[in-house]
Amino acid sequence: MAKQQRILTGQVAAITGAARGIGRATAEAFLREGMKVAIGDLDLATAERTAAELGHGTVAFPLDVTQRASVKAFLDGVEEQLGPIDIMVNNAGIMQVGHTIWDEDDATTQRMVDININGVMFGMKEIVPRFLARGRGHVVNVASTAGKGGFPGGGTYCGTKHYVVGVTEALRAELRGTGIEVSCVMPVVVNTELASGLTPTRGVKQVEPSDVADEIVAALKEARFDVFVPRSVAGITKVMNLLPRSGREGLSRALKADQVLAQIDPGKRAAYELRASHSDPALEAGDPTRQLTP
């Protein structure tokens, strides 16, 4: 007998980094399910514009996921306006690629660690106690298929996503029996600004933000942990894990997966890279000691 799917209507969801891209698409998908949605983003103006465009009572808040106090303020604001949070989507992340590990400047490395790792950690640390107090809730951490392998040109990014996969698995084990669900989202390259100028792979095409959002909704209804997008990647991952290292690396080269983050088009990525470089309020434009890689 098929397991009955959960009804999401009326549930409150908080999504980080939701002014655009996967976060925005997820907010749209949630609204179609009749949920109450709050989006948080460092770019408050865009977040507010997105909330207005989405309508249906969507609210926007300023959010710097690198600061735990900001994450707490975001969640407090959501609960004050919409009620207790049922679903937390830790989505905020950046991807600055195209550099070898030894050539990547320290500020770029630190920024990806601050957003992609600490942002997820602060989200979990702030939401889980609230869920435990109520005996329910669902944590959704957005990782990447890059969290299942290491790819040239994106060492730090892959490392941060490995962390998200690992810490989400640990959280699932720690919360077993509490009534709180956990999901780890692992999409291939998604057709957003973050993926502009990347080299396409053979056999696995880019997916749309809406594809990721739909799978997140399905995972919430099914209480599913592994959320590969597309789902066929789950099978590819299983096959890769059965191969010896030489086989995995050979297949990666055959699929051109080893070129995705290394052979990039700087012109097409310029706008995104610049915005990612300016995502730290503490950075001063042109500061040679702290400026992120352009």
Q: Which residues are catalytic?
A: 157
With contact defined as beta carbons under 8 Å apart, do 35 and 67 qualify? no
Nearest to 15 by CA among 55, 53, 47, 57: 47
With contact defined as beta carbons under 8 Å apart, do 171 and 182 qualify? yes
Burial of 79 (0-12, 13-18, 19+ CB in 10 A): middle
Token pair recorded at residue 171 = 């959280």
Residue 13 CB neighbour total at 10 angstroms:
28
| Strand (E) or helix (H) holding 138 | strand 137-142
State the sign of the Cα–Cα–Cα–Cα dihedral 111, 116, 117, 119.
positive
Nearest to 213 by CA among 46, 33, 51: 33
Helix ranges (H only) for the chain are 21-32, 44-54, 68-82, 106-112, 119-134, 155-174, 209-222, 232-242, 245-254, 266-277
DSSP one-letter code for 20: S
End-to-end CA distance of the chain: 54
